[in-house]
Structure 1
Amino acid sequence: MEQTLSRLLVLDMPWWELVLRAVAVYVCLLVLLRVTAKRTLEQTTPFDLIVLVLLGTAVQNSLIGEDVSLLGGLLLAATLMLINAVTGRLATRFTAVDQKLEGKPRILACNGVIFRQRLRQAAISDNEFSSARRQAGIISVSQIRLAVLETSGKISFFKRQEKQ
């Protein structure tokens, strides 16, 4: 019993190494996720979900190393939450940080013309774009005044004014 309790509460490596691992993994994942296509949760496909689950599994050993103690897990969780809170605060205070982390909105279509290269760069298929257009109540491409890929991953549509 005493051995089990000490196994849960005694770190198997220095605390600073766990913190350093958490920071390194967080930064690496942030960069990797930033350079890949951005989607909102409602646009997440089963493939995206699989990648997220596998990412968690893939970085698990990078985070914990040989430490499987309860205290080590709690320290990692606290470190990740703190890093996330600091990152969020920096993004709200400094526009440059926000733009680096979140990116900038991109125009995907204007006055009925779809910019297909921008769709490809954003990893948005024609089907995804058409589905988002229909959900916005725009039947025809010619009705699009502007389509913008927001930093959240959502596509905003603005209709052309009807000629009277």
Structure 2
Amino acid sequence: MLSLGVPAWEIILRAAAVYLAVLLGLRLSGKRELGQMTVFDLVVLLLLANAVQNAMVGPDTSLTGGILAAGVLLILNAGVAYLRLRWRPLRRVLEGSPTLLILHGQVLERNLRRESLDREVLETALREHGVVRVEDVEMAVLEIDGSISVIPTGGTTHRIRHPVKFLRHA
């Protein structure tokens, strides 16, 4: 129960490789996928966890091997979180950057396609923010967490002349 079936270093390397592969896979799945998880996404994550379990510990089924693999995952995650906060280029790689979807009442179709969004999803987000027409939006942004921020036109909102500069500093 406590003795390892494979060397500890092998479990450590396997767990690290699986962590990096899953992190990359989730990052490549896109911002919207992570921000709006559906039942289907939950099923995939649960199955993914089960699928990679053997890849992390190999033939080892000991309690010690499982705890070692879990410890490696927690340490790697803490290390990545620490580095992400202190090194901006890594943050950009891991999290991406906000994407402008609407500017001055005009939908940026190319950005919608790049983020695998359709007009229906965008219009739903607008309605959630109390906006009925696209023309009534100064700016809409797909944030790095998958949510869509909407700034309506009029009122106290200032016209944003350089949205790219605005997004870089957000």
Q: TM-score, normalised by structure 2?
A: 0.86
How far does the alpha carbon of each residue in 1:127-161 deviate from its partner, in whole angstroms, 9 at most, with x for none? 22111111111111111100111111111111111
Paired with 2:35 and 2:23, the residues of 1 have a C-alpha distance of: 20
How far does the alpha carbon of each residue in 1:78-122 deviate from its partner, in whole angstroms, 9 at most, with x for none? 110000000000000010111110011110111111112211221
Partner of 1:129: 122
Unaligned runs of 5+ in 2: 156-170
Partner of 1:70: 63
Partner of 1:4: none
Decide whether the 8 Å contact of 2:35 with 2:145 is kept in 1.
Answer: no
- Does the C-alpha gap of structure 1 residues 121 and 40 become closer, same or farther in structure 2, counting only changes over 3 Å? closer
Pairing 1:11-160 to 2, within 5 Å after superposition: 11-39=4-32, 43-160=36-153
Decide whether the 8 Å contact of 1:38 with 1:152 is kept in 2.
Answer: yes
Decide whether the 8 Å contact of 2:101 with 2:108 is kept in 1.
Answer: yes
> 1:42: Cα distance to partner?
6.3
Paired with 1:129 and 1:54, the residues of 2 have a C-alpha distance of: 30
Paired with 1:21 and 1:71, the residues of 2 have a C-alpha distance of: 15
Q: TM-score, normalised by structure 1?
A: 0.88
Paired with 1:51 and 1:125, the residues of 2 have a C-alpha distance of: 22
SS of the residue aligned with 2:61?
coil
Decide whether the 8 Å contact of 1:143 with 1:159 is kept in 2.
Answer: yes
> 1:47: Cα distance to partner?
2.2
Higher mean displacement: 123-132 or 86-95: 123-132
Decide whether the 8 Å contact of 2:131 with 2:137 is kept in 1.
Answer: yes
Decide whether the 8 Å contact of 2:126 with 2:132 is kept in 1.
Answer: yes
Decide whether the 8 Å contact of 1:9 with 1:70 is kept in 2.
Answer: yes
Runs of 4+ aligned residues of structure 1 deviating over 4 Å after TM superposition are none
- Does the C-alpha gap of structure 1 residues 42 and 152 become closer, same or farther in structure 2, counting only changes over 3 Å? closer
Decide whether the 8 Å contact of 2:96 with 2:144 is kept in 1.
Answer: yes
